Amino acid sequence: MSVDHYENFPVASLLCPPRLRPAVVAIYGFARTADDLADEGSAAPEARLAELATYRAELDAMLEGRPGGGRWRGVFEPLARAHAQHALPRRLLHDLLDAFEQDVRNPPYPDRQALLDYCERSANPIGRLLLHLYGIGQREDLVRADAICTALQLINFWQDLGRDQPRGRNYLPASDLARHRVAPIGPEPLRDGPALRACVHELCDWAATLMRRGAPLALRLPGRAGWELRLVVQGGLRILEKIERLQHGTLHARPTLGKRDLPLLLWRALRMGSRRPA
């Protein structure tokens, strides 16, 4: 379910239909490059935002059929071909850039709704773009895709507490921290302990609920798309199981999926077709 560090994007797997693979790879390349501009290296926030603004201008040029500056030719030439063939919704591409700019600004998240608003731009556009490629646009399907993508984003947050803390990134909603009497996030790093773990436990349960809410979409998608989404759903739920085995102590350990998980994921994906997802 992951490729490199952009983990919530199942890109060009063997289950992806060959006719759609170039478009999926092009979207992935666009998102990953923007992610790198926002996150990688040691540039100051102002410089990162300037780079993202230039990147956005290149996107606008591509969408309008104008020549760009050529700096990211390897990104925008494949994306232009995908757009010409599939008429990619421009708003979804811009939403992703909005989310990366928000990452650079690194705002606090006072409550879960603020985090959901972020996920609407950072995660949900990926699912909607993929559904667009498959020609699926019914409202119920889009809502379920949003639930899956948001769940994947949240799972990645709770999985990555130990990685995000040194970078000053905190996606734990302040309202949840306060309810569990965890000290507000500030200059001092988070401290592991029963209160923080109870908070992470509750947030993982929230992510699992969202994932299960969206899971029926995997049974509606035809052929390879449905099988890939089944594996994405089961992969996300498997990470939550591994977080639970760590007693929700992801501040010091990061659970991942490995080859040993594949048989179990395949079995669970198969079972999704014989019973309603839990």
Total domains in the fold of the chain:
2
Residue 146 shares a structural domain with residue 272:
yes
Residue 70 shares a structural domain with residue 123:
no
What CATH number did the domain enclosing 122 receive? 1.10.600.10
Q: Per the domain annotation, does 248 fall within a domain?
A: yes
Given 72, 105, 138, which residue is the final one in a domain? Answer: 105
| Other residues' Cβ atoms within 10 Å of the Cβ of residue 10 | 21
Residue 128 shares a structural domain with residue 176:
yes
Residue 168 shares a structural domain with residue 34:
no
pTM here is: 0.90
Residue 86 shares a structural domain with residue 133:
no
Residue 129 shares a structural domain with residue 248:
yes
Given 45, 74, 105, which residue is the final one in a domain? Answer: 105
Please list the pLDDT of the chain residue by residue as tens digits (278 residues): 333 444 544 444 556 778 888 999 999 999 999 999 998 778 899 999 999 999 999 999 999 999 888 899 999 999 999 999 999 999 999 999 999 999 999 899 999 999 999 999 999 999 999 999 999 989 999 999 999 999 999 999 999 999 888 888 889 999 999 999 998 776 677 889 999 999 999 999 999 999 999 999 999 888 888 888 999 999 999 999 999 999 999 999 999 998 899 999 999 999 987 654 44
Q: Per the domain annotation, does 9 fall within a domain?
A: no
Q: Per the domain annotation, does 6 fall within a domain?
A: no
Say how far apart CA 9 and CA 34 lie, in whole Å: 14
Q: Per the domain annotation, does 10 fall within a domain?
A: no
Residue 78 shares a structural domain with residue 153:
no
Residue 255 shares a structural domain with residue 129:
yes
Residue 47 shares a structural domain with residue 144:
no
Residue 44 shares a structural domain with residue 170:
no
Segments forming the whole domain that contains residue 247: 107-278
